[in-house]
Amino acid sequence: MKQLIIIIISLLSLPAFTQPLARSTPEKLGIDSRRLQLADEAILQAIRDKEIPGAVLAVVHKGKMAYLKAYGNKQVYPDTIPMDVNAVFDMASVSKSMSTAIAVMILIERGQLRLIDKVNRYIPEFQGNIRIRDLMTHTSGLPAYASVVNLQNQYGAPCPDGLIEYISTCNRGFDPGANFLYSCLNFITLQRIVEIVSGKNLRDFAKENIFDVLGMKHTDYQPTGETLKRVAPTEKQADGSVLRGVVHDPLARVINGGISGNAGVFSDADDLAILSVALLNNGAYKGRRILSPMGVKTMITVPSRLRSFGRSLGWDNYSDYSSNNGDILGTNTYGHTGYTGTSLTIDPDNDLAIILLTNRAHPNDSGDVIRLRAVVANIVASSIGSMPVK
């Protein structure tokens, strides 16, 4: 009987944390919807130019969903399926920010990690004086990537332990903190540290401490069930199939088995909107907290010693990779992009988030969204507070 009561109480409390972000209209939030139509046209033109098959755009302002729209097609091969706002996307490198970086910050807040801890404190065979902060800001000197073929030949696949062995001893390009080189190996190393310290794999830790806490019900590594049914496919494979619900990134897919610090999270616009509001609200959403206010501030602030590089702890503020920020958002804007065509841009100065999800790698990995991201960001930014004067 006691167990039944606990189950009933749990079920009754669940809906409060699985509801999507509250909806509003652009005008009620001080946004000019006529300007947002320019974003519609820009996205539709990218579809006509075959830069992307389809997209979902979400604009979050003042804690509410101000704009949510789908464009084009979710799938064009082997048949055509229209895009819809509930589509789930392979977030690719946005995983670094929305999962791995937040997981690291949670452990820092718990006193289990420090930014200045050396990696070899947790991975004894790891060579050099690289620290946690160097990994999070891509200033470690580790190579940008690794040959999947060579790793397979040496270790087999999947082989996460072999990958860590390789990263631990591979050549470093520069001394820690001396330069910037965006590297997936940084966040694969952070994944291993999170797993060693927490005693859980990254998927379980992120679900229990981030996604489930916030009620992000269609966000996960290796999606299953209803979430898998909603996934937009990515690249066509040699056998004629397309990747669907299987991470596109080769290191994450082949060597790390789908759960990886550099890629592997699948998510949708509603869930990303919730995460954005939590970060804009100093780490909390509807009374559920993932980080403290000071933890969020630390995570999204570029360290003073690395100001010339423009990277904060797991996020991109103003590096050469931050074109998704556009030209006119607030000076404290941060975010991340994903190879598959995804992007999350958060502007705390204007209490704003722009979520642009595209499937540009479907079906032939030939699309391009770099310019589109900036164009959409500029249009959305210009729409804030631009209601006609009466």
Give the pLDDT confidence of 17-66 residue by residue, as tens digits.
566 799 999 999 999 999 999 999 999 999 999 999 999 999 999 999 99
Residue 199: pLDDT above 90?
yes
CB 353 within 8 A of CB 280: yes
Between the CA of residue 223 and those of 217, 245, 383, what are the distances in Å? 11, 6, 35
Q: How far apart are CA 381 and CA 386, in angstroms?
A: 9
Mean pLDDT of the chain: 95
Instruction: Residue 29: name the closest of 337, 277, 294, 293 by CA.
Output: 277
274 φ, ψ to 5°? -65, -45
The residue written with tokens 């830069």 in the block is: 51
The CA distances from residue 293 to 71, 89, 92, 106, 207, in Å, are: 36, 29, 27, 12, 21
Quote the pLDDT of residue 20: 78
Q: 388 pLDDT exceeds 80?
A: no
The pLDDT tens digits for 215-225 are 999 999 999 99
Q: Tell me what percent of the residues of the chain surpass a pLDDT of 90.
A: 93
Token pair belonging to 83: 């895009």
Tokens of 240: 């004629």
Distance between CA 240 and CA 174 in Å, rounded? Answer: 42
Put residue 351 in one of left, alpha, beta given phi > 0 → left and psi -120 to 50 → alpha.
left
What mean pLDDT do residues 119-136 have?
Answer: 98
Crossing angle between the packed helical segments 148-155 and 160-169, to the nearest 10 degrees = 110
Over residues 333-386, the pLDDT tens digits come to: 999 999 999 999 999 999 999 999 999 999 999 999 999 999 999 999 999 987
Distance CA 343, CA 356 (A): 5
Q: Where are the domains of the chain?
A: 18-93+198-383
8 A C-beta contact, residue 60 and residue 23: no
pLDDT tens digits for range 210-253: 999 999 999 999 999 999 999 999 999 999 999 999 999 999 99
Q: Which residue has the tokens 């397979």?
A: 152
pLDDT in tens, 76-99: 999 999 999 999 999 999 999 999
What is the average pLDDT across 162-190? Answer: 98
Q: Is 6 exposed, middle or buried (0-12, 13-18, 19+ CB in 10 A)?
A: exposed
Is 27:66 a contact under the CB 8 Å cutoff? Answer: no
Rg (CA), the chain: 20
The CATH number of domain 18-93+198-383 is 3.40.710.10: yes
Tens digit of each residue's pLDDT (9 = 90 or more) over 272-319:
999 999 999 999 999 999 999 999 999 999 999 999 999 999 999 999
Structure tokens at 160: 């996460």
